[in-house]
Structure 1
Amino acid sequence: MHLFCFGYGDVARRLAARLTPHGWTIAGTVRDPARAAALNAVGVRAFAYDGSAALAESALDGVTHVLVSVPPPETIVAQHQLRGIPWLGYLSTTGVYGDHQGGWVDAQSTPVAPRTERARRRVEGEKAWLAIDAHVFRLAGIYGPGRNAIDDLRHGRTTRRIIKPGQVFSRCHVYDICSSLLASFERPNPGAIYDIADDEPASSAEVIEYAAAMLGIDPPPAVSFDDAAPAMSEMARSFYQECRRVSNARIKDELGVQLAFPTYREGLRAVVG
């Protein structure tokens, strides 16, 4: 079997690590030619590619699975080359749902209502991929090794807890993202949309407090969202201006996924452990 990743980032790298012991061939694109050379040196067939021209036809020789983790329009020019490949997957974001004032959302019952320009671009990307029978995976906030509240506190990247009553975020551990993709490989359903999130939406302050307790340190000072907002980036503010809880029922019911990290607690304990 042969996986090709448009955008060989963290999810693609961790997925590849679970496939290579089973004899899979791994290939993908990166923007930096130097990184492409480094990946080729460790057995990943990598191509420097920015989406401005069609990918070399030979790059897709023998490919059975394609995973897209870069936003449009970078891969639009390549879509015509992908028709007929047995499994296509596009990594989108739960940001396409917009604000639901803390209500639950899922791909089957909730209209997509993006509020930000980047989310609107993702919706257009979804439409383009669904038109050629790709699977769409809407990811909640990704965390995992090297990308979590424990490391943020250890390295001084988190200096405050932002408090906004009623605000929660859904998250997903990168390991569970990969498990969901592997499950889709086994049970393909072209054109399906899946939400990948854990079982317990929680505030960022709650997660930071838990991480601090695990490290045996005091949590950083609390700051209200209203006080913090003027100094926040536009992107950071946008996260706090939307509130939703993301259902993971479909990956469990249809794909049989059992989350290794059903809440942020298990995920953070794994980092410390």
Structure 2
Amino acid sequence: MRVFVAGGAGVLGRRLVPQLVARGHQVTATTTGTAKLGLLARLGAEAVVMDGLDASSVGEAVAQARPDVIVHQMTAISGKPDIKHFDRWFATTNRLRTEGTDHLLAAAEAIGVSDFVAQSYASWNGIREGGWVKTEEDPLDPTSTGKGAEAIRHLEAAVVGAGGTVLRYGAFYGPGATDDQVELVRKRQYPVVGNGRGHSSWVHLDDAASATVLAVEHRAKGVFNIVDDEPAPAGEWLPYLAACAGAKPPMRVPTWLARPLAGRTAVAMMTEGRGFSNAKAKRELGWQLRYPSWRQGFKEELA
């Protein structure tokens, strides 16, 4: 198929494009400037510059590529993690998940493309009631009122409403995905908050990419959690990550102190977050993970 990957030069796009090419697909991949055109070409894609926040730029790029399917991987997450000021840190990504999604869907409709796959998120943001592990039938946390949560809700509603596919990826790790977090861990600036019982789900970039290829090839519809087999509490995965990174164990900070220092998002993630189940993706897409657990993946990536 002709596959249009918006955001092909991102950390996931760089793992996705080669997998699509290896499966025989013709890939057009976008980047926001000329600096990464050569990288995308080396990965086997036809590389184009596109501004995901400019409707004309998006419409022109999609029309010229004439794709059979559009894959939306546009984000702008870079620099030191700033969970306390989450909306500020994610400001451009939030726009890409709202305005950018709308531009891509409009471009798809203009040329009659019905297959559309978009990146969403599922790590600790499931509804904070009941069990610790959520399925696609469970809503994302409805009490989250920040712009990041609003952007994800917009993306999912728009894509599902258009008959497309939403892939709720767990927290990424792999080449280039967690360097900033690991640096904070090594500096002991990434503490366990409160009881550390809040669960997260992780996924290696290569497994996220392989699931995306399957979603494209199966012309899947609806929502899929793309996470590994082991949702885990922060009190388990964070000390293990520190050990794999050769760092001292993370400090522990009480909730009352963490709230003004790190913000509500960090406290919710560490104490109340919910993980996710990948049973549907395995069952309906035939997805098999190279890294079934973050335990194996962290160890190999940080060896």
Are 2:190 and 1:189 equivalent residues in the alignment? Answer: no
Residue 271 of structure 1 and its aligned partner are, at CA, apart by 0.9
CA distance in 1, matches of 2:200, 2:293: 12
Aligned residues: 270
Q: Which runs of no fewer than 5 residues in structure 2 stay unpaired?
A: 75-96
TM-score (norm 1): 0.84
CA distance in 2, matches of 1:131, 1:238: 30
CA distance in 2, matches of 1:153, 1:96: 24
Q: Does structure 2 retain, via aligned residues, the 8 Å contact 1:101–1:243?
A: no
Is the alpha carbon distance of 1:154 and 1:244 closer, same or farther for their aligned partners in structure 2, counting shifts above 3 Å?
closer
* Partner of residue 264, structure 1: 294
Q: Which amino acid aligns with 1:239?
A: M
Residue 246 of structure 1 and its aligned partner are, at CA, apart by 0.8
Are 2:107 and 1:81 equivalent residues in the alignment? Answer: yes
* Partner of residue 208, structure 2: 177
TM-score (norm 2): 0.77
Percent identity among equivalent residues? Answer: 24
* Partner of residue 46, structure 1: 48
Q: Which amino acid aligns with 1:168?
A: H
CA distance in 2, matches of 1:195, 1:231: 31
* Partner of residue 98, structure 2: 72
Please state whether the residue corresponding to 1:259 is helix, strand or coil: coil
Q: Cα deviation per residue 1:31-63 (whole Å; 9 max; x = unaligned)?
A: 3x2335444664541223132323244544331
Residue 154 of structure 1 and its aligned partner are, at CA, apart by 8.9
Residue 210 of structure 1 and its aligned partner are, at CA, apart by 1.8
CA distance in 1, matches of 2:181, 2:158: 37
Is the alpha carbon distance of 1:99 and 1:149 closer, same or farther for their aligned partners in structure 2, counting shifts above 3 Å?
farther
Residue 13 of structure 1 and its aligned partner are, at CA, apart by 1.6
Residue 135 of structure 1 and its aligned partner are, at CA, apart by 0.7
* Partner of residue 167, structure 1: 198
CA distance in 2, matches of 1:270, 1:107: 30
CA distance in 2, matches of 1:246, 1:40: 32
Q: Cα deviation per residue 1:170-190 (whole Å; 9 max; x = unaligned)?
A: 222212111211222332233
Please state whether the residue corresponding to 1:15 is helix, strand or coil: helix
CA distance in 1, matches of 2:107, 2:248: 54
Is the alpha carbon distance of 1:36 and 1:235 closer, same or farther for their aligned partners in structure 2, counting shifts above 3 Å?
farther
Q: Which amino acid aligns with 1:262?
A: P
Are 2:132 and 1:106 equivalent residues in the alignment? Answer: no
* Partner of residue 119, structure 2: 91
CA distance in 1, matches of 2:186, 2:245: 13
- Say what the alpha-carbon RMSD is for the aligned residues: 2.9
Question: Which structure: greater helix fraction?
Answer: 2
Residue 223 of structure 1 and its aligned partner are, at CA, apart by 2.4
Are 2:94 and 1:63 equivalent residues in the alignment? Answer: no
Q: Cα deviation per residue 1:72-127 (whole Å; 9 max; x = unaligned)?
A: 1123123122133253101112266342365321113x234431331122112211
Instruction: Judge which range, 70-79 or 235-244, deviates more.
Output: 235-244
Is the alpha carbon distance of 1:101 and 1:242 closer, same or farther for their aligned partners in structure 2, counting shifts above 3 Å?
farther
Instruction: Judge which range, 131-140 or 163-172, deviates more.
Output: 163-172
Q: Which runs of no fewer than 5 residues in structure 1 stay unpaired?
A: none
CA distance in 1, matches of 2:193, 2:18: 38
Q: Where does 1:1-273 land on structure 2 (aligned, <5 Å)?
A: 1-8=1-8, 9-31=10-32, 33-35=33-35, 37-39=37-39, 42=42, 43-54=45-56, 55-57=58-60, 59-60=62-63, 61-70=65-74, 71-83=97-109, 84-85=112-113, 87-94=115-122, 97-100=126-129, 102-108=131-137, 110-114=138-142, 115-117=144-146, 118-148=148-178, 152-153=182-183, 156=186, 158-165=188-195, 166-190=197-221, 192-215=222-245, 217-233=247-263, 235-237=265-267, 239-240=269-270, 242-273=272-303
Instruction: Judge which range, 212-221 or 60-69, deviates more.
Output: 212-221
Is the alpha carbon distance of 1:258 and 1:228 closer, same or farther for their aligned partners in structure 2, counting shifts above 3 Å?
same
Residue 134 of structure 1 and its aligned partner are, at CA, apart by 0.7
